[in-house]
Amino acid sequence: MKNKRVIILVAVLAFLAGVLILREILFRPGEKLTLLATEPALYQTGVDPNLEKISFQFNQNVEGFNFSFNIFPDFAYQTQIENNQLFIIPEKPLNGEENYLIEIREETSSFYFPLEFITSQKIDENTSIPEEEGGLGDPKAEEEIAKIVLEDYPLFYQTPKTTDSWQADYSQKGELTIFYQSSKNRETIQQEVFAWMESEGVDPQTHNFKWQPVSQINN
C-alpha cells in the first residue's frame, strides 16, 4: 500500500514538472522579443541584388528561438544566428528591380515582422551603366510599398497593442492573435479589442482572430 502511494506521488510530481516545463516553453519570461534594426532597411529601394546577407538585429540573444520565414518571390537561402542577430544568406544573387517581401515570425514569443525592399537593376559585364542624375529615384516607391503593407496589415503601425489585460499582434496577413489574461472574461476582451480597432478606423470583420488565454500579459 505504501509503495502504491509512492508511485502515485512520483507520477503527480512528474506531471507537475511537465506542466512547468511546458509553461516555460509557451510563455517565456523576461523582455519581449523586439526587432531593433534590419539590413536592408524597411522599404529601402536600390538594394544591391548581390548582397551577401539580410540581417535582423534584436534586443536580446536569439540563439534559442525558432524562427520561420515566408519569402516572396522565393529564393534559396541559409540562416545563421549570432547572439542577437539573425542572418538570411541568399545562395544566389537576387533578381534585379524586384519587390521582395520577407515575413519573419517566432511563434513562442508572438513575434512577427514583414520586411519589404526593392532591389536595383542587376549589372553585369555586358550592361552599360548610365550616368547618375541627381535625386533619390522614384519618390513614390516607398509610398507604394507602404500602401501594399497596409492593405494586408491595416494595423501594422499600431501593433503590437498592449493593455493591462490583453495584447494584439499580427500572426499573418489579416489575422490578429489576441493574448488575454485567463482570469478575464473573453467576451469583455473581445469587445475591448473591437472597440480599439474601430477607434483606429478598422472594421473588425475584415480580420480573423486567434484568442489565446495566458496567465499574465508582459508589457
Tens of pLDDT, residue by residue over 54-85, are 999 999 999 989 999 999 999 999 999 999 99
Alpha-carbon radius of gyration of the chain: 23
Which CATH code fits 35-121+136-152? 2.60.40.1220
Q: What is the mean pLDDT of the chain?
A: 81
Please state the pTM of the whole predicted model: 0.51
For residue 188, pLDDT beyond 90? yes
For residue 199, pLDDT beyond 70? yes
Using alpha carbons only, give the angle 214, 181, 60 rounded to the nearest 5 degrees.
55
Band of residue 136 on the pLDDT scale cut at 50, 70, 90: very low
d(CA 46, CA 122): 10
The number of C-alpha atoms within 13 Å of 86 and in the hemisphere containing its C-beta is 24
Looking at residue 137, what is its pLDDT?
A: 47
d(CA 18, CA 12): 10
Looking at residue 15, what is its pLDDT?
A: 60
d(CA 101, CA 135): 25
d(CA 57, CA 46): 21
For residue 141, pLDDT beyond 70? no
Looking at residue 29, what is its pLDDT?
A: 47
Mean pLDDT computed over 192-204: 93
Task: Pick the more confident residue, 152 or 38.
Answer: 38
C-alpha cell at 150: 497596409
Q: Bridge partners of 160?
A: none
For residue 24, pLDDT beyond 90? no
Looking at residue 107, what is its pLDDT?
A: 79
The mean-pLDDT minimum among 3-17, 22-36, 73-87 falls in 3-17
Q: 83: Cβ–Cβ under 8 A, 6 or more apart, which residues?
A: 61, 62, 63
For residue 6, pLDDT beyond 60? no
Mean pLDDT computed over 25-51: 80
Nearest to 109 by CA among 170, 176, 32, 166: 32
Q: 169: Cβ–Cβ under 8 A, 6 or more apart, which residues?
A: 110, 112, 159, 160, 161, 176, 177
Residue 24: other Cβ atoms inside 10 A: 10
Nearest to 114 by CA among 77, 143, 61, 71: 71
pLDDT in tens, 144-181: 666 767 788 888 888 888 899 999 888 888 889 899 99
Identity of residue 157: Y
